[in-house]
Structure 1
Amino acid sequence: MSRETINFICTSFPGAEVSDPWGGGHDAWKIGGKMFASIGATTSGVAVKTDSVETSAMLIEMGVGTKAPYFHRSWILLPWDMEPGELRERLLQSYRLVRQGLPKKHQAELPDFPSG
């Protein structure tokens, strides 16, 4: 995996937008102004949001990823060498989690996306 692969996957999510809010070559993927994935300028993977601190801890314990530096404990850093299908699924879960947390009015203004 690479930054380009992550960006390609995230581009496919309806309403997803990328920015570099901190400067220096970071990619922060957002939906409705809320971040669901982040690639640091020099990190060896992509940070994604999980549904809880417990889920993040479990995934770290299972060896799926590591603690995402500078993020809340509910975020996990997924490595570049992750299997492509699993990586896409983890990005999609983070995207859906953040999208579902947006106010209903804002969700209604976004492009359609299956909730399944």
Structure 2
Amino acid sequence: MTEDQIIAFCDALPGAVRDHPFGPETDVWKVGDKIFALMAVGSAHVSLKCADPDYAEMLISVGRAGKAPYLPRGGWIYVDATALDDDEMTHRLQESYDTVRSHLPKRVQAELG
């Protein structure tokens, strides 16, 4: 998946907002003011959250993902989007969004549609 495809996918998710709280070199997507994806501009390397922290640890241990820099453990991984097929990358992005969204207050979730 290309960087442009990642941007288009994340920008299209309901309630997703792209921000640059760490400076212009890092795209950060949030839903309900909670981060679900980060990407260093020009790298196609994305940090995102897995629904299951144990699965995230397994992906890291087998080399399919790395530890997400600057983020707490708890299911955060770091992937090279160019090394994954588009279906897997889309799944990872969607799962991260869904996981973060599911932990938002019900009122906020309802406002997102």
The RMSD of aligned alpha carbons is 1.6
Deviation at 1:65, TM superposition (A): 1.1
Aligned residues: 111
* TM-score with structure 1 setting the length: 0.86
Determine the structure 1 residue equivalent to 2:96: 94
5+ residue gaps, structure 2, are none
SS for the counterpart of 1:71 is coil
2: CA distance between counterparts of 1:53 and 1:97? Answer: 11
Q: 2:3–2:44: 8 Å Cα contact kept in structure 1?
A: no
Does 1:19 pair with 2:19?
yes
Q: CA deviation at 1:33?
A: 0.5
Answer with 25-34 or 5-14: which moved more.
5-14
TM-score by length of 2: 0.88
Matched with 1:114 is none
Matched with 1:5 is 5
Between the aligned residues of both structures, percent identity stands at 38
Corresponding residue SS for 1:93:
helix
Deviation at 1:24?
3.2
Structure 1: runs of 5+ lacking an equivalent: 112-116
In 1, are the aligned partners of 2:49 and 2:96 still within 8 Å (CA)?
Answer: yes
CA distance in 2, matches of 1:107, 1:80: 28
